[in-house]
Amino acid sequence: LTSRLPHSSSKVISLRCRTLLTSMMDAFVQRLPRPKPQTPSRSPTRPSPLGESERPTKKVKVEIQNSDCDDDEYDIKSADEDADTSGLTVNDVSDEDDKDDRRTRQTDIESTLPPIQADKEAIEEYELMNSSQASAPDDGKPATANRQWIRGKSSIYVDAFNLALYTVLADESHLFDAKERNVFDQWKNLEYEAQYLYVRLFLRKTSAWHRQDRLGYYSDISDPDAAIKSLQILRELPEPEVSKDSNPVEGVELEEFSLGDTFTFADASEEHITTIEEAASLLSLDELKDLAKEAKFQGRNKADLVRALCRTGYQQTGLFAHGLQRSGSGESQTARGLMRDRHDTPPQLNRQDSNQTQHFLDKIRDITGPCIRLSPLTYKLFERVHLVFYRSTEWTEKSLTAIILASIARRNYPDYIVCRSTNIFATRRHVLEFESAIRVEAEVDQVLEFNGPPGEAGFRKVVDIFDRVYPRWKVLLAEEQEKERRVYEEGEGAYLRRFTPVHSYTRIVHKAAFVFGRLKDHEREHSILTELLDQHLFHPARRGSWYQRKALLEEHYMHALDGNAVSADPDVQKKHWKRIAATTCETGLEDKDCHLIYHYDLQKRLIKLEKQLRIPRRLQHDFGHVRLQKPVEHTVEGIQLKRNDRQGRNGRQASTKTIWVDELEDGGECSVEEMCLSWYRSQGYKGYHAEGGIVRTLFAYLFYDILFLYIPNVFQTAYQTCPLDLHTDSFYPTRMSEINHRLVDIANGCAERIIREVDARERERRTCVIGLNWDYDVEDLVELVGCFNGSALAALCKVMAQEYRQRGGGLPDLILWRTEPEKECMFAEVKSANDRLSDTQRLWIHVLTGAGVKVVLCNAVAKEVKAVD
């Protein structure tokens, strides 16, 4: 990679700063020789990138989300509740976890990095370190002789921006044409301070206008005017090598843009702001009010004032320009009527079209001063670079800094082979369509999830989008199925397929099935679900919900919608479709991609259908071995403390968390969970208030080597704590053979051996692995798994392997075990008067009880309430 980097000049980055960036890029995509193979393995792993160890920070409970949010699903409904003919709600398409994820989205790369300090202090520390290195003498000559920037001298934002650019150009430059590559060459020759200003504006993720006197970066730039001028210089571009091939994709609008013969990195307001509307948007409310007094127009708020200013500027004669004041008493009623009849927003005019317009533009420019914005074409070009680098459009400022800070953090990372594939995006058109598909997918989400109830109009809009992309989905799906058959080895394409347009199109088709249900078009909904289930490549995590919904439609609706009825007798027709529904349930239970969490509902429906069809008892399915048990209820009494002040901190509403007295320990204040844990300890149990933390630790121990198997493209940096696909629905199918073998080992009682082997090898280094908390004593962990039934522990691990992102949270509060009078392990969900079970918690209780694990609902009751200050 470094051999392909451009040579630096004295005008760009100092030699030492460039060397530092290069070394980070080397580590980022380092490909080391493969050592001897380990078991299980498809390929050997690489040696550790770091030698010095530092104890990692203790993991906190985090709901980790995936950049594509691909695992949202229909609600898991009980078969006894499925006769509702109103269809599904919007929440059925995207569960609460998925909604929370979208508010705090991370790129796949970010989700694999260790917990790091990414605040202002950490960034300043990095820049100070870089500055000191850049200022060190080299061969007796100062490395920063041509640089005047004192503070920082090297910005983490510029380093991260250039890291993304150079990494993409090293192996994926074919995704950009000759003119675009020339833009990148000219970027590399920019002065460092100009790069810094551009990147800071770029991180605002908008190409809006900014007033130069309010940029706020002047303390970091020694000569702001020179930096701005450098960005606004008109630059030449070479003639294109060949004429552009216009080959649009049918039904899909590609966001193509083309550079001309010249370009700028940034635009100047004097040349590009030509309308009063655009110029007025840069004024503050107070500045608009002052201008309104002078020009005699009114408005209640900023929007009204802008509209009034536009009317004044476009519709009056040049009185104001000649220094004349308009008298209110001299204005005729006819003139006022004409003014009211005009449109609020006139058509855009050039500066030459009206002296009055030009006067107001000049007046506003005098107030705002010069303004700058990033040129839309170059801005879009660099956005595409970051799309290719992060494989996502959801990158943020934190995304840019996270990799840099992870690279300098003193951590020990697992042994794995870094492999950043160059064929994820095969062609430029592939990138364009992938970007377009993400945009259309976001449009559907906006309609269904973020603008309140979508209503009939919203549903129809989604149907229009579906009709537009459906033909293209069918074509691309066939291509991917052929590629899976001829090109990819088993499981290799699972993660790569996430970066194809058909991945987004499949999610749109899934959403459309929900919409057709809401519109009572159950026949079309059933047809779409059938097509979704006929393919196995995309969104396997949803297959269980598709089987559930399809069986429901077949049981309740399809008998009346079947155009080829087997009988005119309604009862015969109903029985026919109920048999089909039973077959759907059986198929779902046999489908290896149908996740365990859906099995209970499918089993329950199948039993009900077989009874309705009067199938002989000896031929009916018997799921008694997995029958759910109701959680046992325990009541723990304690002393509750109530604050007299119900006002929370900073004037916010007080927390609903209750405070209790820990009578059985030190008598101090504690949470309700700690109070209940003390009670269980008094009953002879050991335990932790872990809320899933200890389960994630067990999973990391038991699947350590499988987590870091060599799988192409899932380890793209040297600083990952897990593979990129762990939080996606491709993790399990890609490693299905290895995971299933490990589950058999766990069921056969090998968990203790596996944990001890991993602990002996990794504890001294305290290796950074997702979910693994080294603060847990290994003897406690070994004792805990010894109290588990092997098959129950295997079932628990299978759910984590299939849906790590969704099921990493929601586990019961307490995990408890004891070895006498007999080995016993159980989970306890603590509930006080203010608590209710969430859907995720109910699901985990189903999973645990279905696997034969004891689950307790522990009700905390206040035997005494004390008021405290």
CB atoms within 10 A of CB 383: 15
Q: pLDDT digits over 514-523, tens only?
A: 999 999 999 9
HSE, CB side, 13 Å, CA atoms: give it for residue 162.
30
Average pLDDT for the chain: 76
Alpha-carbon gap, residue 849 to 861, rounded angstroms:
25
What's the confidence (pLDDT) of residue 256?
61
Written as six digits, the tokens of 141 are 């000559």
Banded pLDDT at 102 (limits 50, 70, 90): very low
Contact 319, 358 (CB under 8 A): no
Tell whether the model's pLDDT for residue 699 goes beyond 90.
yes
Phi and psi torsions of 153, nearest 5°: 60, -15
**659 — phi, psi (to 5°)?**
-115, 135
pLDDT attached to residue 216: 76
To which H or E segment does residue 368 belong? helix 355-368
pLDDT of 662 strictly over 90? no
pLDDT for position 793: 93
pLDDT at 211 over 90: no
Alpha-carbon distance of 280 to 827, in angstroms, equals 61
The pLDDT, as a whole number, for residue 242 is: 57
Instruction: Please tell me the least confidently modeled range out of 208-212, 602-606, 607-611.
Output: 208-212
Question: What pLDDT is recorded for position 119?
Answer: 58
Upper half-sphere CA count for residue 427 (Cβ side, 13 Å): 5
pLDDT exceeds cutoff 90 at 630: no
Rounded to a whole number of angstroms, the CA Rg of the chain reads 32
Given a contact cutoff of 8 angstroms between Cβ atoms, the answer to whether 60 and 693 are in contact is no
**What mean pLDDT is predicted for residues 103-130?**
64
- pLDDT number for residue 647: 56
Q: Output the pLDDT for position 311.
A: 74
The residue among 274, 180, 190 whose CA lies nearest residue 227 is 190
Lowest mean pLDDT among 139-153, 163-177, 851-865: 139-153
User: Could you state, in order of their start, the residue ranges of all structural domains in the chain?
Assistant: 2-30+117-240+257-263+375-408, 273-372, 445-626, 632-868
Q: Which residue has the tokens 């002393």?
A: 639
Question: Is the confidence at residue 550, as pLDDT, over 80?
Answer: yes
Give the β-pairing of 371-374 and 632-643. unpaired
Asked whether the CA dihedral 283, 285, 287, 288 is positive or negative, the reply is positive
Q: Is 219 exposed, middle or buried (0-12, 13-18, 19+ CB in 10 A)?
A: exposed
> d(Cα 571, Cα 593) in Å, to the nearest integer?
34
8 Å CB contact between 484 and 493: yes
* pLDDT band at residue 163 using 50, 70 and 90 as cut-offs: confident
| Residue 566, phi-psi category: left (phi > 0), alpha (psi -120 to 50), beta (remainder) | alpha
- Per-residue pLDDT for 849 more than 90? no
CA angle 477, 479, 484 (to 5 degrees): 95
Query: Which string of b and e fits 109-125 if b means at least 16 CB within 10 Å?
Result: bbbbbbbbebeeebbee
pLDDT higher than threshold 60 for residue 330: no
Q: Is the pLDDT of residue 158 over 90?
A: no
**Using CA atoms, how far apart are residues 523 and 560, in angstroms rounded to an integer?**
10
| Bridge partners of residue 868, in order along the sequence | 643
Handedness of CA 227, 232, 234, 240 (dihedral sign): positive
**Mean pLDDT of all residues in 246-252:** 56
N residues, the chain: 869
Q: What is the structure's pLDDT at 149?
A: 37
> The tokens of 110 are what?
């970010």
Find all residues with CB under 8 Å of 169, minimum gap 6, and list them. 4, 181, 184
Q: In CATH, which of 3.30.1330, 2.60.40, 1.10.3470, 1.25.40 is domain 445-626?
A: 1.25.40
More confident residue, 279 or 598: 598
Q: What percent of the chain has pLDDT over 70?
A: 71
